[in-house]
Amino acid sequence: MEFDIKKIKAIIGLGNPGFKYYKNRHNIGFRILDKIAQDYSANWSVSDIQEDATITLTLNVSSDSIDKSLHKIILIKPQTFMNDSGRVLLALQKKGINSENILVIHDELEKDFGKVSLKFDGSARGHNGLRSIMSFAGSSFWRLRFGIGRPEDGDVAKFVLSNFNSQEEEKIDLLILESVKKIFQS
């Protein structure tokens, strides 16, 4: 199955709420969503369970690029902490948005730092945010997996809740930009 932004109705970025977590490895989903919102001049609204914004894409309907249509995508940052991220799916399900129309952006221990890929379906691989999403929606959704690598000392919990190191942080803006391009140019 090939990724097609025209089929995506919601993008969920995984992370933990609060400024103190913003630069954590676990919060790369929030940071990528913030870049998307900035690029599309979207404004966030806040509720107890989530921050959300809506962007509108202009899509070519025909190959001659004369016919165009508008495509709305909801951006969501769960405000429930990582382990309970799936609660945001209830509102999407009420809007008739199916899991195959959702893209979840998350950090990925199994990929080297900065390696990014799009993938449909799969397991949670120990990621509590994905596990929570899957408890509400199953596994049939798109994922943008942003590689953070594995910790040298093996302490995964400490690693994902720590900030990117200074060498990584120097590259992060460019990697976020590459991630956004991967989503919208696939």
Indicate which residue of 26, 71, 106, 127 is catalytic: 26
Structure tokens at 6: 């025209």
Residue of 185, 163, 114, 146 lying closest to 14 (CA atoms):
146
Annotated active-site residue 106? The verdict is no
All residues at 6 or more sequence positions from 87 whose CB lies less than 8 Å from its CB, including other chains = 49, 78, 80, 132, 136
Q: CA dist 181 to 20, 36, 171, 185, 186, Å?
A: 27, 10, 16, 6, 8
Residue of 111, 130, 124 lying closest to 175 (CA atoms):
111
The catalytic residue positions are: 26
